[in-house]
Amino acid sequence: MKLSWTLINGIVFFQALVFSLLLTPVSITLGKRFGLIDHPKIDRFHKQTKVRSGGIAIFLGFAIAALLDLVLVYFLYKNDALFQENVSRLLGNVKAVLPRLIGLMAGASFIFLVGLVDDRFTLRPRTKLLCQVLSAVPLLLVGIRIRLFLPAGFGILLTMFWIVLLTNSFNLLDNMDGLASGTAIIVSLVFSFVSWQAGNRFMTVILILLAGSIMGFWYFNFIKSRLFMGDGGSHFIGYMIAALSIQATYYKTGAPTSLPVLTPLVILAVPLFDTISVMFIRFREGRPLMKGDTNHFSHRLVSLGMSPRQAVVFIYLVTVCVALAAMPLGYLPLVPALVQFSQVVFWFFLIFLIERAGKRKLDEEKNKLRGVNE
């Protein structure tokens, strides 16, 4: 049986998953040895001391699998007995996309190391922000930037902003076991499906590799709850999703509307909602924007009565529902597309109303208790 693209996608996902599963216990050992330890703090939700070195397994699981696949493609793509004809033809173009892959991995490796250093020594916010901006440079050098019919200078600035935004969004989302990793898996798989529909086979494979490398860690983070991914992991994941989402094709000539350009915003609505809402709360309360707290989306769900695991699963479901709403945008006429997009807005408006009602009830109960005690 010759290898089809569908079979290749399954193989690379399993490959990255296995590497990550094998490397996660190793990353735990390395975390203990090099002092990558996360202790409970007042402004943090977790109450147990754990290593925060899971990002090592995610990064190496992805990098090793990607390198192995490139080597195999280089030596085997001409083997007509192994691949279907359409697969062999496209695999022969790997050399053409290699510069972009190198730029992607250069930026991702840099931001991963920045996160790893932050896990060990705690960098200043300004230093991290500068490094996040610099991490976009390798992408720009190989031509990876947001275009959208924009002037080149504006596209470069928007690309840097998008990289910084997503890198920090997944860093902020990493506040409960399994939350950032599970959300990233869902988002990566939805982006891979969008890329598949657009006919971008290489992009699909890279996104599936990313999802597989994260899932190996997710098992030890959510199911076993043995370690955290740390800033190294969250920075790498956020950067990769930001960079890959830039390269995906959303709008095609002849599409009924221009709304498909909103696809990445819809797919990533949950991490963006968490970032925007927690920043707004900190600003409203006059607290530093970059200082951690327990006002994240997940924390607010727990305050309404959910267990941490229930809150994480709830956010998974919201991510799935919202992300799936992005898929038809490229095919729908204007009015149905607007209805589809408005559903996403209403999802978060309903969540806002539930949170507001729950907070009002909690405040009333606190006032009653205060009156009884007085």
- Class of residue 317 by CB neighbours under 10 A (exposed 0-12, middle 13-18, buried 19+): exposed
pLDDT category at 212 given cuts 50, 70, 90 is very high
- DSSP-derived secondary structure letter, 42: T
> What is the rounded average pLDDT for all residues in the chain?
91
What digits encode the pLDDT tens for the residues 34-77? 999 988 776 666 678 899 999 999 999 999 999 999 998 888 87
Predicted local distance difference test score (pLDDT) of residue 364: 76
Predicted local distance difference test score (pLDDT) of residue 57: 98
- Rg (alpha carbons) of the chain, rounded to whole number: 21
Q: How far is CA 90 from CA 69, 83, 86, in A?
A: 14, 11, 6
pTM equals: 0.94
Q: Amino acid identity, residue 318?
A: V
Predicted local distance difference test score (pLDDT) of residue 53: 97
Predicted local distance difference test score (pLDDT) of residue 182: 98
Nearest to 124 by CA among 292, 290, 281: 290
Instruction: List the domain boundaries for the chain.
Output: 1-249, 255-374
What digits encode the pLDDT tens for the residues 315-341? 999 999 999 999 888 888 989 989 988
Which of 66-75, 294-303, 310-319, 343-352 reaches the highest mean pLDDT? 310-319
Nearest to 210 by CA among 266, 173, 170, 161: 170
Q: Amino acid identity, residue 301?
A: L
Q: Give every CB contact of residue 248 below 8 A, 6+ residues apart in sequence.
A: 191, 194, 195, 198, 200, 203, 263, 264
What digits encode the pLDDT tens for the residues 252-288? 777 788 888 899 999 999 999 999 999 998 888 888 8
- Class of residue 315 by CB neighbours under 10 A (exposed 0-12, middle 13-18, buried 19+): buried
